[in-house]
Amino acid sequence: MIKIALFAVIALIVIVVLRQYHPEYALLTAVISGGIILVFLVCELASPLFSLLKMLNSYGVAEGLTDYILKALGICIITNFSVELCTDFGQTSLASKVEMAGKIAIFILSLPILENILEVGLSLL
């Protein structure tokens, strides 16, 4: 995590300097820096995520459900990144629409999980 923080500070300094002289390059640098940080985070997240998946599979959680969890996590990360990027560049209206799209995507993704929960509940009755 220290690598990410150091990279973010260096990128911030570069962006602030570029914004004074070449605002168009500052935007491009911010987007690329955000993407690199996102890649760093995914690499850091991989090991704990695989441990979680092993644990869920050992407890008998269906593999289909873990797929939904991973997809939901990916949607959250991408949506959050997009919203923050839009907000950073003053596009709050666009950011709110991206956030709504992410929420709708998570809702649609959660429908099969809800169906599975209802089936289990009804079988217990």
Give the integer Cα–Cα distance in Å for 81 and 76.
8
Domain count, the chain: 2
Give the integer Cα–Cα distance in Å for 9 and 122.
53
Share of the chain above pLDDT 70, in %: 98
For residue 34, is it within any domain?
yes
Residues 6+ positions from 49 with CB-CB distance below 8 Å: 70, 73
The yes-or-no verdict on residue 62 having pLDDT over 70 is no
For residue 57, is it within any domain?
no
**Residues 123, 73 within the same domain:** yes
**Residues 19, 77 within the same domain:** no
Per-residue pLDDT tens digits for 28-46: 898 899 889 988 888 888 8
The yes-or-no verdict on residue 125 having pLDDT over 70 is yes
**Residues 77, 124 within the same domain:** yes
Asked if residues 37 and 23 have their Cβ atoms less than 8 Å apart, the reply is: no
Per-residue pLDDT tens digits for 65-89: 778 888 888 899 899 989 988 888 8
**Residues 67, 120 within the same domain:** yes
**Residues 8, 42 within the same domain:** yes
Share of the chain above pLDDT 90, in %: 27
The yes-or-no verdict on residue 104 having pLDDT over 90 is yes
For residue 54, is it within any domain?
no
Range of the domain at 104: 62-125
**Residues 67, 123 within the same domain:** yes
For residue 55, is it within any domain?
no
For residue 37, is it within any domain?
yes
For residue 1, is it within any domain?
yes
What does the block give as tokens for 103? Answer: 């929420």
